Amino acid sequence: MKDADCPWWAPPLLAVQFLTRLPVPGTTGLSSAQVHSGLVRAVGWFPLVGALVGAVTAAVALGAARWWPVPVAVVAALIVEARLTGAFHEDAVADFCDAFGGGQTSDDVRRIMKDSRIGSYGAVGLGLAIGLRAVLLMAVVGMATPVAAAGIMIASACFGRLLAAVLMAAVPPAAAGTGLAKDIGSGVGGGVIGLAVLTAVPGLAPFAWAAPGPALLTLAASAAFVLWFRAMLLRRIGGSTGDCLGFGAYAGQLLLLLAATAG
If DSSP codes are grouped into helix, strand and coil, which group holds residue 240?
strand
Check residue 2 and give its pLDDT: 45
Cα dihedral 171/172/177/183 (nearest 10): 110
Give the per-residue pLDDT at 186.
60
Which pLDDT does position 8 carry in this prediction? Answer: 76
Smallest CA-to-CA distance from 126 within 103, 93, 164 is with 93
Strand residue runs (E) in the chain = none
Distance of CA 68 to the CA centre of its chain: 28
Q: What is the predicted pLDDT for the residue at 37?
A: 74
Mean pLDDT by 10 residues, the chain (263 residues): 65 93 80 77 96 98 97 98 95 95 89 89 97 98 94 98 96 73 67 95 97 97 98 95 96 98 86
Where do the structural domains in the chain lie, given as residue ranges? 10-261
DSSP designation for 174: P
What are the φ/ψ torsions at residue 171 (nearest 5 degrees)? -120, 120
Distance CA 127, CA 146 (A): 27
**CB atoms closer than 10 angstroms to residue 218:** 26
pLDDT of residue 136: 98
pLDDT at 256: 98
Specify the pLDDT at position 57: 98
Between CA 14 and CA 148 the distance in angstroms is: 30
Question: How confident is the model at residue 230, as a pLDDT?
Answer: 97
Distance between CA atoms of residues 204 and 200, nearest Å: 6
So what's the pLDDT on residue 3? 42
